[in-house]
Amino acid sequence: MSATSYAPEHTGLLLVDPYNDFLSEGGKLHGRAQPVADSVGTLANLKTVVAAVRKAGIQVFYVPHHRAEPDELAHWKHPTPYQQGASRAQVFAAGTWGGEWHPDFQPQAGDVIVKEHWGGSGFANTDLDYLLKQHGINKVVVVGMLANTCIESTARFAAELGYHVTLVRDATAAFSAEAMHAAHEINGPTYAHSIVTTAELIAALG
């Protein structure tokens, strides 16, 4: 474990896509992520991380994926395969239960809700970088869904922008064990400054 310290005034938690469609029984993507999520204890670890950072006085930033609307990609020139699939399935559809926050991750007073991201990165075409800078944040802890898509894209973008990046390997999930392995053992070490477990993060928070 990297001996990283997390000063509350300079650290932010990026909580990525804590939607019912990912995290709740009956969610459109819950079944695909459940085997990996259950194997690492994703839901319990996410709750532990969020509670711990709140107790430590660390700012929580909600980093939500775009909530789908019918036929919204009809005139797009270059939607990605993931965007096309999400649009067909209406994942996180606006105005639906699947596009609502999981009951355990309801925003609290003082939390920051970032503009929705269309692709994988919570930074691209959103106000996340601006909001982090306005709060004096230079270290980010990135948790949520999915490890090899939005978590990796957001965390890698953060590193490119000069933020110190921590990944929490068991406070996320993926659609396969191979994807989780790639996210934390192959790709993560190329950009993340620290890759820890929930227990290691809690210990570092003190």
pLDDT tens-digit series, residues 82-93: 899 899 999 999
The Cα-based distances of 189 to 12, 29, 41, 152, 167 in angstroms read 20, 27, 22, 11, 10
Per-residue model confidence as pLDDT tens digits over 98-138: 999 999 999 999 999 999 999 999 999 999 999 999 999 99
Residue 4: predicted pLDDT: 87
Q: Is 69 inside a domain boundary?
A: yes
Percent of the chain with pLDDT over 70: 99
Q: Is 4 inside a domain boundary?
A: no
Q: Is 7 inside a domain boundary?
A: no
Q: Is 6 inside a domain boundary?
A: no
Helix and strand element counts for the chain (H, E): 8, 6
Q: Is 72 inside a domain boundary?
A: yes
**Residue from 149, 148, 137 nearest 112 by CA:** 137
Q: What is the mean pLDDT of residues 195-199?
A: 98
In angstroms, rounded to a whole number, what is the distance separating the alpha carbons of residues 152 and 183? 7
Q: Is 159 inside a domain boundary?
A: yes
Q: Is the pLDDT of residue 2 over 60?
A: no
190: domain CATH number is 3.40.50.850
Give the residue carrying structure tokens 């990283």. 4
Q: What is the extent of the structural domain holding 109? A: 12-205
Are the C-beta atoms of 98 and 31 separated by less than 8 Å? no
Q: Is the pLDDT of residue 45 over 80?
A: yes
Q: What is the mean pLDDT of residues 26-44?
A: 98
Q: Is 137 inside a domain boundary?
A: yes
The reported pTM is 0.96
Percent of the chain with pLDDT over 90: 96
Q: What's the number of domains the chain is made of?
A: 1
Residue 1: predicted pLDDT: 38
Residue 141: predicted pLDDT: 98
